[in-house]
Homo-oligomer: A and B are copies of this chain.
Amino acid sequence: MTIHPQALPLDQVQVLAGFWHDRMTVNREQTLPAVYDKLKSTGRLDCWRRDVADEDLHRHIFWDSDTAKWIEAAGYALVGRRDAALERQIDEVVGWMVDAQGDDGYLNSYFLMARPEARWTNLRDNHELYCAGHLMEAAIAYHQATGKRTLLDALTRYADHIGATFGTGPGQKRGYCGHPEIELALVRLAEATGTSRYLDLASYFVDERGRSPNYYDLEAEARGENPRDFWARTYRYCQSHQPVREQTVATGHSVRAAYLYSAMVDLARRTRDDGLADACRALWQDLTTRQMYVIGGMGPSDTHEGFTFAYDLPNETAYGETCSAIALAYFAQRMFELDGQGATIDVLERAFYNNIIAGVSAEGRHFFQCNPLTAYPYYSPYVRWNGIIADRHYRRVDWIDCACCPTNLVRLVASVNGYLYAATADTVYVNLFASSRARLRVGGAAVTLEQLTNYPWEGAVHLEVRASDPVAFTLAVRVPGWCRAFKLTVNGAAVDAVLVDGYARLTRRWTPGDVIDLDLDMPIERMRAHPEIRQAAGQIALQRGPVVYAVEEIDNGPRLANLVLPASARLTAGRDPALLGGLGVLTGEALRIEPTAWPGGIYQPETQLKTAARTQPLKAIPYAFWANREPGEMRVWLRDA
């Protein structure tokens, strides 16, 4: 029987310094309050109030999810760091929520107070179960951090109401949500409360999805609508075009997709459902080897915020929603917990260090929804040609009306410590590298693992085992897929570690004070894309360790399309202490290939031009930190010779 590794929970892991410590600090001190201010000023909190006249309030079908994700983020941030002021903000809202909750347990600010008659009439579009799922995740996080049960109790009542409403029994609706989310939330609720019926409900939602006759057809007809009038034209949009076990290609809205797939993995692991697990593996394979950006994002098309087809990864018009990269990380983490493959953490790490962190400014209060790989200050698919630039494509904004990305970011970054380590009864997995401390029981004993590293700028990782007595267990240290040479020592003595599933497994009786040193070779790599990816043909992306680099106009001048980085170009990795707190940078030389003069007009025969290849300095910075200075061009894929 497979023993699945399980991530160590937040209260067992502290991030102490370095990249993630900095990001988590900004997240807690800047992003979390910024999100609260916006929730408040936009009416997302007051919409719960029954003591304010309705006409003074706005409500929206998925505002509950924004508030929920902020509470969830706060819950993570409060682990081991209680904060009375923050808790007062939350408790006030929770009070309103509980006051508003229906006698039957129903809990949704919009459908309780704005359109009660429409409750459960349009699962396809209305996000009701989606909002319920986010409220469940919020309730669990807040309860786990504070022990406060009010919200959790409200959500179990709501979950019970949902369980009574939906299912295959007589009188039940055979529906499921257009936007998956409740499925993974119910799995968490089952574990948080030890209530297996929530797991069953999650299984029901997952397996009912996409059956014939399609529920969305039936409910549309019940509303007197023609199902063919569905704006998205296809149930692929919400992964409901066929039963999930038959799906092999990642399709539709990419956040919905990866939330669904995450729940599928959760269930496959917990119910030991091999068929479901195989569907997950097929979808994972398709997504990560045919539809993933080099920055760890996905979903190129803005028309439906989602997937198009294999190897279609446009750069300048990329949608690449921040939420998508986060959802990809959720999926990756669960695939790791299913199969224990380090390669899935490679994907998670690619998303974490690149697309996800790009979603928030270095100062923590501005956000990208879209994450293009080529940007022009006056161009984006969102440009309005009227001179008003919808600038969210090349400049972060302090809020987004559809606020899924800022709220997803704040909860993800607040919980990064939950992704560092995992364990079984006899094995500790070191998945991410960050100066940190983990406390856990392994090999039957309490063990503390200390990690010290300057990752991702340097490849050296120092680990120390602390325990009261010697203890036998396996330390499985991930060797990232990008790394092709590494050294491993235990107490200074080289170890010839065999890589198993992407991990250097060290099985021994550990003595307190044992030190493990991993030295990952971290050269600058010129990455190439699969030859079917036409948008990267003749181009390379610079990557070092897990970090993908970008060039910006402010460092390299305009017309970045005219820069060429031949194979002979020497590049050096270093730190720029003046750059946004000290980022790793790559410097060297590139060629700028342009005509020495332009004779006029817009097209010219080559024979009429003299073209020069001039050497110029090149500076590339981590993609995640682009657009933190003056707006300008940006490029990830650079022309090679």
Binds B, one of A95-103, A220-228, A375-383: A375-383
Alpha-carbon distance between A526 and B531 when the two chains are bound, in angstroms: 25
Contact with B along A528-571 (1 / 0, CB 8 A): 11111111011011010000000000000001111010010000
A434 to chain B, nearest CB (A): 24
A534 partner residues in chain B, CB cutoff 8 A: 376, 559-561
A530 lies within 8 A of B598 (CB): yes
Report the nearest B residue to A374, measured CB to CB: B534
A594-622 vs B, CB cutoff 8 Å, 1 = contact: the mask equals: 11001011111111010000000000000
Which residues of B have CB within 8 Å of A641? 641
Task: State the CA gap A288–B600 with chains docked (Å).
Answer: 11
Interface of chain A residues 288 through 315 with chain B (CB within 8 A) = 288-290, 292, 294, 301, 303-304, 306-309, 312, 314
Q: A30 interface residue, CB < 8 Å from B?
A: no
In Å, the complex CA distance between A252 and B532 comes to 35
| A308 CA / B390 CA spacing, docked (Å) | 13
User: What is the minimal beta-carbon distance from A279 to any residue of chain B, in angstroms?
Assistant: 19
A387, B234: Cβ atoms closer than 8 Å: yes
A595 engages B289 (CB within 8 Å): no
A236 within 8 Å of B by Cβ?
A: yes
- Chain A 570-594 near chain B by CB (<8 Å), digits 1 or 0: 0000000000000000000000011
Verify A525–B607 contact, CB threshold 8 A. yes
A558 and chain B: residue at smallest CB distance: B532
Given contacts A528-B595, A541-B603, contact A385 B559 (CB under 8 A): no
Please give the count of copies of this chain that the complex contains: 2
Q: How far is the CA of A527 from the CA of B482 in the complex (A)?
A: 40
Using A234-B387, A384-B233, A388-B233 as known contacts, say yes or no to A605 and B526 having CB atoms under 8 A apart: yes
Q: Give the nearest-CB partner of A241 in chain B.
A: B386
- Residues of B contacting A602 in the complex (Cβ-Cβ under 8 angstroms): 288-290, 292, 294, 529-530, 533
A431 within 8 A of B: no
Q: Does chain B have a CB within 8 A of A415?
A: no
Question: Can you list, as one digit per residue, whether each of A78-98 has a CB less than 8 Å from chain B (1) or not (0)?
Answer: 000000000000000000000
Question: A317 at interface (Cβ–Cβ under 8 A)?
Answer: yes
Complex Cα–Cα for A567 and B236 (A): 46
Look across to chain B and name the residue whose beta carbon is closest to the beta carbon of A539. Answer: B538
Decide: B385 and A252 in contact? CB cutoff 8 A: yes
B312 touches A603 (CB 8 A): no
Contact between chains at B541 and A562 (CB < 8 Å): no
Asked if A308 contacts B385 (CB within 8 A), the reply is yes
CB distance from A308 to the nearest CB of B (A): 5
Q: Does A251 contact B (CB under 8 A)?
A: yes
Task: Give the CA-CA distance A527 to B604 in the complex, in Å.
Answer: 5
**CB of A54 to closest CB in B, whole Å:** 25
Query: Among the listed B308, B376, B527, B639, which residue makes an inter-chain contact with A606, where contact means beta carbons less than 8 Å apart?
Result: B527
**Which residue of chain B has the shortest Cβ distance to A604 in the bound complex?**
B528
Select the residue from A314, A384, A598 with max chain B CB neighbours within 10 A: A384
Question: Are B538 and A639 touching (Cβ within 8 A)?
Answer: yes
Complex interface: chain B residues within 8 A of A609 (CB): 528
Are the CB atoms of B233 and A595 closer together than 8 Å?
no
**Which residues of chain B come closer than 8 Å to A205, judged between CB atoms?**
none
Give CA–CA (A559, B529) in the complex, Å: 13
- Is B561 touching A385 in the complex (CB atoms < 8 A)? no
Q: A528-B595, A531-B562 are in contact. List 17 more A-B contacts (CB 8 A).
A: A234-B386, A234-B387, A237-B386, A292-B602, A301-B385, A304-B385, A306-B385, A307-B385, A312-B376, A314-B316, A525-B607, A527-B604, A528-B603, A528-B606, A534-B561, A537-B561, A537-B639
In order of increasing CB-CB distance, the 9 nearest A-B pairs are A234-B386, A537-B561, A534-B561, A525-B605, A526-B606, A531-B594, A527-B603, A289-B602, A308-B385
